[in-house]
């Protein structure tokens, strides 16, 4: 028997393995209901990618095609990042992009910042602390 307070407060907001069970079930039932086994899903994904790749270059490593449930509907959600976001024929934009890349290289922080800290010039320190300029 539960106490008055337990009954009053009901289920706590702690989300333990019960939530995991729900999430995992929702995933597996989505596939069960559509008779979409992981193998079928993979075959469909490859076919979709083949079609898209005829028109644009796709970054296949980052593609995410999955079934999802939204409200009570089942959806196929596809996230397909392109390799080149800017059209190559557009010279002006291309120039800007090259310039941007160059700037990125200049401003990119050294990968091992702490070890190189001692060598940092006063100018670089100022860049890292914009509040000094104010």
Partner 1 sequence: MTGKVVTITSGKGGVGKTTTTANLGVALARLGQKVVLIDADIGLRNLDIVLGLENRIVYDLVDVVEGRAKLRTALIKHKSFPDLYLLPAAQTRDKTAVSPQDMIQLCNQLRPEFDFILIDCPAGIERGFRNAVAPADEVLIVTNPEVSAVRDADRIIGLLEAERKGPGRLVLNRIKPDMVRKGEMLAPDDVTDILGIKILGIVPEDENVVPSSNSGIPITLNDNSRAGKAFHNIARRLMGERVPFMSLEESGGFFKRLGRIFSGGGG
Binder to partner 1 among 16, 38, 111, 130 (CB under 8 A)? 16
Q: Which is nearer to partner 1, 21 or 43 (CB)?
A: 21
7 binds partner 1 (CB under 8 A): yes
Min CB(3)–partner 1 separation in Å: 11
Q: Determine the Cα angle at 95 with ends 91 and 96, to 5°.
A: 120
Which residues from 56-115 bind partner 1, rule CB under 8 A?
72
Give the binding range for partner 1 (CB under 8 A) out of 27-35, 58-66, 91-99, 122-130.
Answer: 27-35
Binder to partner 1 among 10, 109, 122, 130 (CB under 8 A)? 10
Non-local (6+) Cβ contacts of 49 within 8 A are: 58, 60, 63, 80
Min CB(68)–partner 1 separation in Å: 15
Q: How far apart are CA 45 and CA 67, in angstroms?
A: 11
Contact between 126 and 132 (Cβ < 8 Å): yes
Q: How far apart are CA 3 and CA 127, in angstroms?
A: 61
Q: What is the DSSP letter of 66?
A: E
Please report, as ranges, the residues that interact with partner 1 according to CB under 8 A: 2, 4, 6-19, 21-22, 24-26, 28-29, 32-33, 72
């Amino acid at each position: 028997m539960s106490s008055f307070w337990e009954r009053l407060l009901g289920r706590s907001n702690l989300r333990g393995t019960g939530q995991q069970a729900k999430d995992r079930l929702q995933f597996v039932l989505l596939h069960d209901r559509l008779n979409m086994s992981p193998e079928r899903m993979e075959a469909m994904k490859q076919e979709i990618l083949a079609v898209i790749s005829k028109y644009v270059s796709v970054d296949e490593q980052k593609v995410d095609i999955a079934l999802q449930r939204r409200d009570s509907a089942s959806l196929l959600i596809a996230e397909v990042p392109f390799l080149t976001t800017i059209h190559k024929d557009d010279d002006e934009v291309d120039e800007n992009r090259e310039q941007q890349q160059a700037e990125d290289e200049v401003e990119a922080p050294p990968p091992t910042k702490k070890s190189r800290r001692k060598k940092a010039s006063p100018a670089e320190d100022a860049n890292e602390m914009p509040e000094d300029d104010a």
